[in-house]
């Protein structure tokens, strides 16, 4: 499929940037959306150098404001069809900290679950009006089973998982396709605080390539890297009495 109009929510994320570089190998129109104008400008400048024939713009807003989300998609997004929309924002909180800080817990749940759902609803509404498109939502393997090391982040991603399943059911057989991406632990600024404790972090370049290839094939669920599909299948099916003995 030839991509002409692309929208990237959370465009300053490392995974989103590397996906954009792949898609911009051919000229297209891209709207980058984020919360920091300074960081977005840097990303836009980098992509313009890599793809000088593409038209690249950016916009900022409060990701938790439903009226701002609705207004952005209605007014800033191209009036023609959206070929591809990627929702890539999120934040990995410190589990022990958000266990003690209810405001931080609320913010983590809102940014990682509610905000992506708001954007998704606005985008698919736009796609319905213009005749179709492909929505890609980045979740996480953390949503496959609750674990003590990251259950607040994981529960947000589990909500997103069920939400995307509902969208897929809603648009089954239509011109709108919805893809859920489940990256494993990836070497990005979001995981930099893990340091040496990082559990075999995958290079962000390979994760992005896996996502782009899967999206190009129209996959509905993409584990990135692919080995995580098997790993999480095992974890999901472990009996509770065994699972509870694991320090994960």
Domains of the chain, each with CATH number or no CATH: 5-243 (3.40.50.720)
Higher pLDDT, 193 or 162: 162
Is the C-alpha dihedral spanning 231, 206, 54, 36 positive or negative?
Answer: positive
Mean pLDDT over 215-236 rounds to: 96
Share of the chain above pLDDT 90, in %: 87
CA atoms of 30 and 57, how far apart (whole Å): 6
Residue 23: how many other CB atoms lie within 10 Å: 21
Q: How far apart are CA 160 and CA 139, in angstroms?
A: 7
Contact 211, 22 (CB under 8 A): no
Nearest to 202 by CA among 181, 221, 177, 227: 227
Checking if the pLDDT of 36 tops 70, the result is yes
Q: Output the CA torsion 75→77→81→86 (10° steps).
A: -140
Residue 216 C-alpha from the chain's centroid:
16
Q: What is the pLDDT of residues 178-221, one digit of tens each?
A: 999 999 999 876 665 555 444 578 999 999 999 999 999 999 99
Provide the pLDDT for residue 189.
Answer: 67
pLDDT of residue 195: 53
For 2-31, write each residue's pLDDT tens digit.
678 999 999 999 999 999 999 999 999 999
Q: What residues contact 165, with CB distance under 8 A and at least 6 apart?
A: 180
Q: Whole-angstrom Cα distance, residue 88 to residue 114?
A: 13
For residue 207, the surrounding DSSP H or E stretch is: helix 204-216
What pLDDT, on a 0 to 100 scale, did the predictor assign at position 48? Answer: 97
Q: What pLDDT shows up at residue 201? A: 87
Q: Is the dihedral of CA 42, 45, 49, 54 positive or negative?
A: positive
Residues in the chain: 248
pLDDT digit string, tens, across residues 52-96? 999 999 999 999 999 999 999 988 776 668 999 999 999 999 999
Contacts with 205 (C-beta within 8 Å, 6 or more apart), sequence order = 18
Cα–Cα dist 31/92, whole Å? 25
94-146 pLDDT, tens digit each: 999 999 999 999 999 999 999 999 999 999 999 999 989 999 999 999 999 99
Query: 78 is written with which tokens?
Result: 């191209």
What is the rounded distance in angstroms from the CA atom of residue 154 to the CA atom of residue 139? 9
């Amino acid at each position: 499929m030839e991509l002409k109009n692309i929208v990237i929510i959370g465009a300053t994320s490392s995974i989103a940037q590397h996906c954009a570089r792949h898609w911009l190998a051919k000229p297209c129109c891209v709207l980058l959306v984020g919360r920091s104008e300074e960081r977005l400008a840097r990303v836009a400048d980098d992509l313009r150098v890599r793809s000088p024939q593409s038209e690249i713009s950016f916009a900022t807003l409060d990701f938790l404001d439903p009226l701002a989300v609705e207004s952005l998609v209605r007014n800033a997004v191209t009036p023609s069809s959206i070929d591809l929309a990627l929702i890539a924002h999120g934040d990995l909180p410190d589990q022990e900290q958000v266990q003690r800080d209810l405001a931080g817990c609320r913010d983590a749940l809102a940014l990682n679950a509610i905000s992506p759902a708001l954007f998704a609803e606005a985008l698919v509404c736009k796609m319905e009006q213009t005749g179709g498109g492909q929505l890609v939502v980045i979740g996480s393997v953390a949503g496959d089973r609750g674990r003590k090391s990251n259950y607040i982040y994981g529960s947000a991603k589990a909500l997103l998982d069920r939400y995307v399943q509902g969208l897929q059911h809603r648009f089954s057989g239509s011109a709108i396709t919805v893809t859920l991406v489940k990256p494993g632990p990836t070497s990005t600024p979001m995981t930099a605080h893990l340091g040496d404790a990082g559990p075999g972090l995958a290079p962000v370049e390979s994760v992005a390539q896996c996502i782009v290839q899967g999206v190009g094939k129209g996959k509905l669920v993409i584990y990135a890297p692919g080995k995580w599909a098997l790993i999480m299948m095992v974890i999901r099916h472990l009996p509770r009495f065994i699972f509870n003995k694991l320090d994960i």
